[in-house]
Amino acid sequence: MSKLREFLAGDRPDDVALFLTHEYLDEQGKIANYGEDVENGVVLVVPGDEGRQMFAAGTGTDAMRFAQGAMGTEGEIDPDLGGGECPEAEPGENHSVKFVFAFAEERNEEIGGIYAEGDVIHAYAQCECGTAYSDRWIAGER
């Protein structure tokens, strides 16, 4: 099973996932060698600290600060983390995702709600229009 599939199934809670469009990938393709190809780019699944550092280096933004800012706006992020639907897009408009940062949170019945149902994938996207948005779902259910 690929790292991405394991991550999306909730089996890699200590890792983070990063989606980068082809524009964000380095010219030599080194980053792509460590990830899994999806339609519009590459998803890397790496240990949490390393992933947060890679995210900051590649985007110029602290990963957790980005996630906190995106939490206030709900959107839809593709189940493979390779894109999404910007909540600011008007009908018929096509907004492209620039990058995605995601992590898994293990099931926690004490918190309740969606967290009592299973491991939860938290995903945060940056749209080309500048809108940052978030999505979450139970691991393995998309």
What predicted TM-score, i.e. pTM, was given to this entire model?
0.91
Range of the domain at 54: 3-138
Percent of the chain residues topping a pLDDT of 70: 92
What confidence tens digit (pLDDT) does each residue in 21-51 have?
877 665 555 566 678 888 888 999 999 999 8
Report in angstroms the alpha-carbon separations of 57 from 28, 124, 127.
17, 17, 18
Residue 118's CB is within 10 A of a number of other CB atoms, namely 15
Strand runs labelled E in 82-131: 84-85, 97-105, 120-127
Q: How many domains does the chain have?
A: 1
> For residue 22, what are its two tokens?
């082809």
